[in-house]
Amino acid sequence: MTPKNIPNRERLIFAMDVADPQAARQLVEQLGDAVVFYKLGLELFMSGGYFELLDWMVARGKKIFVDLKFFDVPATVAAAVRQLRNRGVTFATIHGNQAIMEAAAAAKGDVKILAVTVLTSLDRGDLDDLGFTVDVEKLVLSRARRALEAGCDGVVSSGLEAPMLREFIDHRLLVVTPGIRPVENKPVDDQKRTVDVAQAFANGADYIVVGRPIRDAADPRAAAEAIQQTIAQSFAGARA
């Protein structure tokens, strides 16, 4: 497991995939102290009021992961990253080649940059469609190595590839793992390369990103607290 000194309750990042800032604020209030860390993505960005929501959440002591997967010419990506500095953003995602990653890392300031390796919604067949002939594992490892060399702080990667990252890349690299399913995953959504909460951390993840299993639960706060308990138990077992 990761040796980093991260507060356990911050290891759960809730993917705030809702239609508008009003719904987001209601969820923040409902979840209370069960969730400290939130991921704000494209759906909220396109709804308007994204940065007002971000500032509102930071003022309430929440940590923010800006998941907009910046992908453009390096100068434009750098300019976008600079807009996030000094406003309480912890993580931001980028997607792209070495020049893009280097530009983002050079502009990051107090923001930690996460490079996307291979989306957890993609499998071998999808990579074939995209023209990648390399195995998923080799592609993830290559992109993670290049991200670290470029000055990025971490990667977004499936928990299935986390053990490989820990074996071949040192623990300076943050590993943030989406596609978490607290119970057996059924093929009813777009996530394909998934693990459960305990397995993600046993495999070496530093953080997990959980969306629908919390958002769509009958009691979202109870669902989040159940995940927090699993995280606490996982790290208590590791220290024992």
Given the residues 4, 39, 62, 69, the one annotated as active site: 69
Q: What is the DSSP letter of 102?
A: H
What is the value of pTM for the model shown? 0.89
Flag whether 4 is in a domain: no
Flag whether 1 is in a domain: no
Per-residue pLDDT band for 130 (boundaries 50, 70, 90) equals: low
DSSP E strand boundaries for the chain:
12-15, 37-40, 63-70, 89-94, 112-116, 154-156, 174-177, 207-210
CATH number, domain containing residue 61: 3.20.20.70
Q: Give me the mean pLDDT over the 228-236 stretch.
A: 94
Distances (CA, A) of 191 to 31, 140, 184: 24, 17, 12
Say whether pLDDT at 133 is over 70. no
The 10s digit of each residue's pLDDT in 169-181 is 878 899 999 978 7
The residue with greater pLDDT, 53 or 141, is: 53
Say whether pLDDT at 188 is over 50. no
Q: Give me the mean pLDDT over the 30-36 stretch.
A: 98
Flag whether 138 is in a domain: yes
- Please tell me whether residue 28 adopts helix, strand or coil conformation: helix
Flag whether 161 is in a domain: yes
> pLDDT above 70 covers what percent of the chain?
85
Flag whether 181 is in a domain: yes
- Predicted pLDDT at 118: 65
Flag whether 131 is in a domain: yes
69 is catalytic: yes
- Please tell me whether residue 174 adopts helix, strand or coil conformation: strand
The domain containing residue 182 runs over which residues?
9-239
Q: Give me the mean pLDDT over the 163-192 stretch.
A: 73
Task: Say if residues 191 and 185 touch (Cβ distance below 8 Å).
Answer: yes
The residue with greater pLDDT, 121 or 52, is: 52
Say whether pLDDT at 187 is over 50. no
Q: Which of 27-31, 169-173, 206-210 has the lowest mean pLDDT?
A: 169-173
Provide the number of structural domains found in the chain: 1
Flag whether 2 is in a domain: no
Distances (CA, A) of 161 to 54, 85, 103, 117: 31, 30, 26, 10
Q: Give me the mean pLDDT over the 186-198 stretch.
A: 61
